[in-house]
Structure 1
Amino acid sequence: MASAAEQLAANVNWGAFAKADELKKRIWFTLGALIIYRLGTYIPLPGIDPAAFARAFNGNSQGVLQLFNMFSGGAVQRMAIFALNIMPYISASIIIQLLTSVFPSLEALKKEGESGRKIINQYTRYLTVVLAAFQAYGISVGLQGQAGIVTNPGIFFSISTTITLTGGTLFLMWLGEQITSRGIGNGSSLIIFAGIVAAFPAAIVHTLELGRQGQLSTFLILTVMVMAIAVIAFIVFMERAQRRLVITYPKRQQGNRTYDRQTSFLPLKLNTSGVIPPIFASSLLLLPTTIANFSAHSGGGGILATISLYLGHGRPLYMILYVVLIVFFTFFYTAVVFNPTETADNLKKHSGFIPGIRPGERTAQYIDKVLMRITVLGAAYLCLICILPEILVSYAAMPFYFGGTSLLIVVSVMMDTVAQIHGHLQAHQYEGLVKKARLRGKKR
């Protein structure tokens, strides 16, 4: 089955694209919003010495801050007002989705439709404020724990830093919602995508500079480039991989019309969870560092500081926990977003069935069995892709941006964005056909 990108390349009418004013407005709005986001990553946090922080950050180039810096588009390295990026909002969204499957009241809200979705979105925003404020306060305490970074340490700096960083996250949350509604969609994903892509040129220059200085061999650089291309091709292949279950609808009569027996497919993606497991796993692994910074400033935190040290990139404990969390969230998130029982009930209501499988509970068990098998492959695929950056950073001193996690996010978001553009363009073409049909009808 052709992907949205292939359909767009094969079927796009560039004349219709030029006439699609609504689509062009959405694209320009999205570009303008992303430019505003990139400008915000260069506005420094008030009350810090950027040069002193840059020295401290470079001294921790192999730490967890580097991964967070990649997601924020370099805002952490510059300690900008968007240093937290939109990660607290993504974490809050996933937590609310997970809680939906635990608390019946939230599940009932989810089934209420648009009104319930608005209430759940409001809960997500509230939780975003809590998570962002907690992380921002941890950052303010950690900055004051480093000598020379904060010009005037004290409670005023902690309050102003917490408000500024939390406000930056809330602004990005609002900006992402605007991109989703007024732009081409996928607002939160596009913000992370823009941050990663913006750092690609600097990462390439840095890699070539390491090669010029002799720290990296030419063979290793070429190998990494070829590996990156191979990883991109592998990601595209796996993200398009599906297990299609045959669904049969029997012959039926509706009014005076008789419908023949029909056959369709129920597509089950190999990677149903998308990029959520690696993003949420990496975000969760950042939590001990935030707590360790808070405890270190208060005079304690020896155990937490030790745990934070062992959770550095390339450490065996970090890799093991990263893989375990990815596998856990892959299965958990797949179970949340896809309900085999609900799917089987919908098929039964519409008289659809899987050949050889009894409708109802047997169908739900069969779908769950198939979904479990392909999720095992999906989890293994995500672990393989996401463990690459740890190996490259630990043993080859390569930038994070050539790792599998960043490439997975970039490729997945790009494929979704192309699908969104293709959908908007198709809608515009259908509107044009409807208008032409109406004009012909009036002439007759």
Structure 2
Amino acid sequence: MANANPLAAVAGKFGDLKQRLWFLLLALIVYRIGTYIPIPGIDPAQLAKLFSDNQNGLAGLFNMFSGGAVQRASVFVLGISPYITASILMQLAAEMLPSLKELKKDGEAGRRKVTQYTRYATLVLALFWAFFMARSQMALRLPNVSPAEFVLTTMVSLVAGSMFLMWLGEQITERGLGNGISVLITAGIVSGLPGAISHVLTLAASDSRWILGSILLLVFALLVVAAVVFVERGQRKLIVNYQRRQVGNKVMQAQSSHMPLKVNMSGVMPAIFGSTLLLIPTTITGFAGNSENPVMLALKDISSMMQVGSPLHMVLFAAAIIFFSYFYTALTFNPKDMADNLKKSGAVLPGVRPGEQTGRYIEAVVLRLTLTGALYMVAVCLIPDFLSSALNTQILFGGTSILIVVVVSMDFMAQVQAQMMSQQYESLLKKANFKGAN
């Protein structure tokens, strides 16, 4: 009777994984449909002109992260940028405010409370950005739409779109696969890939010199992808010796193992955080329009020097990546807790005393790994900008885009494999229990 319905057994073997994959697919379809829903009252001709004039600044970054929503004046124009900024602010506040720091230590209840505060901050930032964006884009409204009506409908549309994406990202994290926010950003970037390939092929067809350039760009992209995969899989393995000990009536023999530490523990978040924060001056000056306020004029001069590809932008971007690499690693990895856990389990590192010295040793190793990972991320993100400046042409997919897509894809595949292994393990346990019962 156990083999009476083998098809049903095969279908149910990876049932949870299939459900997660279907949910992820449907969520991405909803996301892509939303990028084609326009804000009411926008003049398409004026929008196209504005985007062509500002695609190398904030508009270009938002358009890349939102999958073309900016170029189409979609309700998803703000994307998940307010949520990313709110997350940065909450993480910084949690390190500076004792009340939030204690709240993070309260386990699941504290985590839910911090998440709730992050949502409130996202709403406030979305309202702020939506208001100034609506006021600054008054020239884009259709002639038959009043200013008050345009501002109100634009604010409601943008805030609703941003909050919906925040909710959708959380649902993907909980019911799908991977980090929902990173998955949405990756989907937006990948959606522009066909257009980028078409643009390169058009250039190659119109100018024979671009044929060699296209081949070189392809080779460069493959080398960057290979480098990202190599570094992201790189680990520093610390040897751990477990001493002979007795637990109850059972004697545990001495054995050796290793503790893997990733070269890049922070993932792609430093690049995303850095990209978002560096464009805040451009955001403010874009919202201000043609204001003659001295402060706004000074901000305009600063933002003009901080355009993507400029030397100042490269230096600040590199500094932001290095800072957030250390900051994010400090949030997610605690050497002291790791040393305490090793001491409690009777494990020691060769040549290092248990306890405080082990914690300091692990911290020193993590700091060196973080510096290596940060420098690798800087190289991946900035080399395309150097090439773009040297060749005097725009590289449609920069290093940040490639880094995000490759790292999120690797994380997605790792979670799929983990789900498959979990399902196989559960099926083996069920078979063992069934045989034992018989």
> Is this a same-fold pair by TM over 0.5?
yes
- Aligned 1:159-238 pairs, distance under 5 A: 159-214=152-207, 217-238=210-231
TM-score (normalizing by structure 1): 0.91
Partner residue in 2 for 1:33: 27
| Deviation per residue, 1:256-305 (Å, 9 max, x gap) | 11001122222221111110111111101121122112333554321111
How high is the TM-score relative to the length of structure 2?
0.92
CA distance in 2 between counterparts of 1:109 and 1:209 reads 55
Question: Structure 2: 5+ residue runs without aligned partners?
Answer: 1-8
* Counterpart position of 1:107: 101
Q: Does 1:440 align with 2:416?
A: no
Counterpart check, 1:276 vs 2:272: no
* C-alpha distance after superposition, 1:126-148 (max 9, x if no partner): 1111222222223223212xx45
Change (3 A) 1:59 1:17: farther
Match 2:299 to one of 304, 309, 319: 304
Is residue 57–residue 279 contact of structure 2 (8 Å, CA) maintained in 1? Answer: no
Match of 1:413 in 2: 408
- Root mean square deviation of aligned Cα: 1.9
Give, in whole Å, the separation in 2 of the partners of 1:275 and 1:375: 13
Residues 1:333 and 2:328 are matched in the alignment: yes
> What is the number of equivalent residue pairs in this alignment?
426
The answer for the alignment partner of 1:400 in structure 2 is 396
* Matched residue, 1:67: 61
Distance 1:442 1:342, change over 3 A: closer
> In 1, are the aligned partners of 2:82 and 2:122 still within 8 Å (CA)?
yes
Q: CA deviation at 1:392?
A: 4.3
- Equivalence for 1:354: 349
Match of 2:88 in 1: 94
Structure 1: distance between partners of 2:66 and 2:340: 42
Helix, strand or coil: the match of 1:253? strand
Paired residues of 2:103 and 2:114 also in contact (CA < 8 A): yes
User: Aligned AA for 1:236?
Assistant: V
What is the CA deviation profile of residues 318-346 of structure 1, one whole-angstrom value per residue up to 9, with x for unaligned ones?
A: 11111111111112221222122222222
Q: Aligned letter for 2:265?
A: T
Q: Displacement, 1:399?
A: 4.0
User: Following TM superposition, by how much is the alpha carbon of 1:16 offset from its aligned partner in structure 2, in angstroms?
Assistant: 5.2
Question: Identity of paired residues, percent?
Answer: 48
Q: Residue 77 of structure 2 corresponds to which residue in structure 1?
A: 83
For 2:224 and 2:212, how far apart are their aligned partners in 1? 18
Change (3 A) 1:398 1:383: same
The answer to whether the Cα contact below 8 Å between 2:14 and 2:423 also exists between their aligned partners in 1 is yes
Structure 2 counterpart of 1:123: 117
Once the 2 structures are TM-superposed, how far is the Cα of residue 238 of structure 1 from its aligned partner? Answer: 0.6
Instruction: Please give the alpha-carbon distance, in whole angstroms, between the structure 2 residues aligned to 1:376 and 1:117.
Output: 29
For residues 323 and 364 of structure 1, the distance between their equivalents in structure 2, rounded to whole angstroms, comes to 29
1:207, 1:399 within 8 Å by CA — same for their partners in 2? no
Matches of 1:184 and 1:65, distance apart in 2: 29
Distance 1:211 1:225, change over 3 A: same
**In 1, are the aligned partners of 2:242 and 2:347 still within 8 Å (CA)?**
yes
